[in-house]
Amino acid sequence: MILDRIEKAAGNFPERIAVHSLRGEMTYGDLWDKSDRLASWLNEKLNDSKTPVAVYGHKDPLMLVCFLACVKSGRAYCPVDTSMADERICDIVSTVGNAVMLATEDFAGCAGFPEDMHIAGPEEIRNAAENCEPAGQESWVKPDDVFYIIFTSGSTGKPKGVQITYADVSNFAEWTSDLGTGREEKAGAVFLNQAPFSFDLSVMDLYTCLANGGTLRCIEKKMQNDHSLMLEYMREGGLEYWVSTPSFAELCLADQSFDQTLLPKMKAFMFCGETLSVRTAKRLAERFPDALVINTYGPTESTCAVTGTVITAAMTASGRALPIGAVKPGTDIFIQDGEIIIAGDTLSTGYFREPEKTAKAFYTDGEGRRCYRTGDSGYFEDGLLYYRGRIDFQVKFHGYRIELGDIEQNLLGLDGVKAAAVIPDRDGDRIKNLAAFITDEGAEGTFEDRQKIRNELRERLPKYMVPKKIVFVDSLPMTPNGKTDRRKLEASL
């Protein structure tokens, strides 16, 4: 189990750095010891209540102490990133409903914040983590207990808290430890953390790293505005494993110095969260000829990722979309009416205190398997899963059913197109037009450039799928999680 693996790393290499950010660093020995002590403080403060604990902050090594302290005290943690809107933080914290919240940065609360909640700030946390008596293993979470709760973006209405158990995380980290390269190679390696801890992509770097006694190097949000600082931070750390969204890698690729000379130890790029384009995979292979590029796929509800594959030169040369991978051992995936359904040993137990929403998304099939409806459209070919897009990105336009993801894939196949997002231009419920936002190195945004794109698309797609509006942009806007911000694009129309 994952805690045993971290304990082993702490025992064998107490002086090794477990986590590093601009805010400081922490060794395995300290991470283990401080989380033991903070766990007993939680036990004392909260008595028998096993309600989950919200942990607020951004990339501070102390956040990891809090996460481990919660699970060592038998409570799930719920990461809340500083980049979230106050309203959302309040919503999440009140839903979690614990009497205590751990804040690794000062947090004053906000309108609607539960009045009787005790916010333990950084001083109080540090004090407890240094001075309380360590808790024993008897209070640790058990395999079926919830380990963390991550609130999904909730494109409509209130965010939902996805509950992931101790067994889920452990099974997940067993798989990622051997994904692409073996665990012997990952032992003690340096991992990049790009995503905020409140986004489940971070589970891949955080727990693959800790399970293998590696060092997590965390990129702060504000660093992303200063490329030279960010690249220098990566270089200095000697990165070996990269975990991010493809959008974030694109951002780095825009800098010519981002290559193997800068990061000579890079062994693998692991992607998840959104479509990895052929172009991005090819550019990475050119700049980092010795590193693997790995595409993985999965929703938060199945613990980050459940399929994965190393992207080969044959795949990028095939002229079609890249596969999202082979199904991991312990997971079953099948396609029902075009939709990807997931069952297996990393599936969430459901949404926190939302039995109705849980019953809508999860069900037990005829064979007694618990299944999750992803809302993603996909298909298998030669043992590999391919992604078609969100079922809800399927639009009806002039009576035709269109997958916006299909148009995007075709745009990405055109020479010069680096990134693309196709957004419906709506007038109330009616779609007036389709708009394509494109970053294209060669184009200057002239009428001829737009016409060229449309003509090339017409050779690949039926006429009704060719977007009428083509907008050239320097880069696609990103959400705080590092995915393309589609809402922002739609609002700009």
Q: Check binding of 378 to ligand AMP (CB under 6 A).
A: no
Show the CA angle centred on residue 78, arms to residues 129 and 18, nearest 5°.
Answer: 50
Among 174, 240, 345, 376, indicate the residue that binds ligand AMP (CB under 6 A): 376
Stretch that binds ligand AMP, among 2-10, 130-138, 207-215, 267-275 (CB under 6 A): 267-275
Q: Check binding of 200 to ligand AMP (CB under 6 A).
A: yes
* In the complex, minimum distance from the CB of residue 173 to ligand AMP, in angstroms, rounded to a whole number: 17
Query: CB count, 10 Å around CB of 452?
Result: 18
Q: Check binding of 297 to ligand AMP (CB under 6 A).
A: yes
Q: Check binding of 224 to ligand AMP (CB under 6 A).
A: no
Q: Check binding of 437 to ligand AMP (CB under 6 A).
A: no
**Window 380 to 419, contacts with ligand AMP (CB under 6 A):** 387, 390
Q: Check binding of 316 to ligand AMP (CB under 6 A).
A: no
Q: Check binding of 370 to ligand AMP (CB under 6 A).
A: no
Kindly tell me which of 275 and 346 has the beta carbon lying closer to ligand AMP. Answer: 275
Query: CB count, 10 Å around CB of 137?
Result: 10
Annotate each residue in 126-165 with x if it binds ligand AMP (CB under 6 A) or - if it does not, as one string: --------------------------x-------------
Among 324, 402, 420, 470, indicate the residue that binds ligand AMP (CB under 6 A): 324
Among 18, 39, 272, 402, indicate the residue that binds ligand AMP (CB under 6 A): 272
Kindly tell me which of 77 and 297 has the beta carbon lying closer to ligand AMP. Answer: 297
Kindly tell me which of 274 and 485 has the beta carbon lying closer to ligand AMP. Answer: 274
Q: Check binding of 300 to ligand AMP (CB under 6 A).
A: yes
Kindly tell me which of 151 and 233 has the beta carbon lying closer to ligand AMP. Answer: 151
* In the complex, minimum distance from the CB of residue 374 to ligand AMP, in angstroms, rounded to a whole number: 5
Kindly tell me which of 211 and 276 has the beta carbon lying closer to ligand AMP. Answer: 276
Q: Check binding of 223 to ligand AMP (CB under 6 A).
A: no
Among 161, 214, 273, 413, indicate the residue that binds ligand AMP (CB under 6 A): 273
Kindly tell me which of 185 and 274 has the beta carbon lying closer to ligand AMP. Answer: 274
* In the complex, minimum distance from the CB of residue 245 to ligand AMP, in angstroms, rounded to a whole number: 9
Beta-bridge partners for 192: 217
* In the complex, minimum distance from the CB of residue 5 to ligand AMP, in angstroms, rounded to a whole number: 24
Strand pairing category for 268-271 and 241-244: parallel
Q: Check binding of 374 to ligand AMP (CB under 6 A).
A: yes
Stretch that binds ligand AMP, among 50-58, 74-82, 255-263, 274-282 (CB under 6 A): 274-282
Interface residues with ligand AMP (CB under 6 A) are: 152, 200, 272-276, 295-297, 299-300, 324, 374, 376, 387, 390
